[in-house]
Structure 1
């Protein structure tokens, strides 16, 4: 699973995801892509599951670019622990995704295969996505 090698701070605030994406909102690499429509945190396990579903459907042909990286630590307190006593320890890594962000890009396969593969990948993610192609 993806996670940063080192960070400036061990724990992060939850925060809110406001507005539309200003970066990674234009296709740079592939011919087809998957664009986020909703704001949400995407966990590293979900990114990996989507990537595996994508490459398996494409039968390892073509090329895949992942345009998101989980760099926000999400902390969790253990079950059945009372309130207080500080913040929990970091459990997993997530990526804040704004609407309009390109999540995956694909090239080297036909439009039909890319559409089906990206649809299967979107099923693994907690957000609504749409298929786009380079004009």
Structure 2
């Protein structure tokens, strides 16, 4: 079952994108700027880093989790670094204007470019690269394989 918050203060959230960017980009959830936090591998040995910003739905996170669980299967350990906090609302098709804001349709995580979304540890690099390539295929934006920085 996809992740969602246990309890929220407000049921319907605002979109949080600027008008000029929405006019340029034709898809919802375009996020400007780079990630300043969560942009390095902290828990595992290898990670999957986003190269674009956007909204990552809870269903995408869940499909990535299932893929990693099947691939790891007791050998290593995986970590999910994103959580869907944002409610995304929608109005039914062919509905007239007015009548207020739509109902929450799904939950999404706001991902900036450079943010590490998934991490994996306890596997050799070739196996981790193969596993995260399968996960990256399911993500809605471009991703890359990153490794842990050496401790200085």
Q: Report the TM range for the smaller structure's normalisation.
A: over 0.9
**Aligned position for 2:139:** 125
| 1:80 counterpart = 2:94 | yes
Following superposition, the deviation at residue 91 of structure 1 comes to: 1.0
Q: TM-score, normalised by structure 1?
A: 0.96
**Aligned position for 2:66:** 52
Provide structure 2 residue ranges, at least 5 long, that are not aligned to the other structure: 18-30
Following superposition, the deviation at residue 130 of structure 1 comes to: 0.3
| 1:110 counterpart = 2:124 | yes
Matches within 5 A, 1:13-92: 13-16=14-17, 17-92=31-106
CA distance in 2, matches of 1:60, 1:38: 31
CA distance in 2, matches of 1:60, 1:45: 23
Q: Secondary structure at the match of 2:88?
A: strand
Following superposition, the deviation at residue 84 of structure 1 comes to: 1.4
CA distance in 1, matches of 2:6, 2:74: 27
- Deviating beyond 6 angstroms after TM superposition, the runs of 4 or more aligned structure 1 residues are none
Moved more, 95-104 or 75-84: 75-84
Following superposition, the deviation at residue 118 of structure 1 comes to: 0.3
Relative contact order, higher structure (CA 8 A, sep 6+): 1
- Deviation track 1:20-71 (CA, whole Å, cap 9, x = no partner) reads 1111112111000000000110000000001111221223320000000000
RMSD, matched Cα:
1.0
- Deviation track 1:69-104 (CA, whole Å, cap 9, x = no partner) reads 000000011122112111101111001100010001
Moved more, 66-75 or 81-90: 81-90
**Aligned position for 1:10:** 11
Provide structure 1 residue ranges, at least 5 long, that are not aligned to the other structure: none
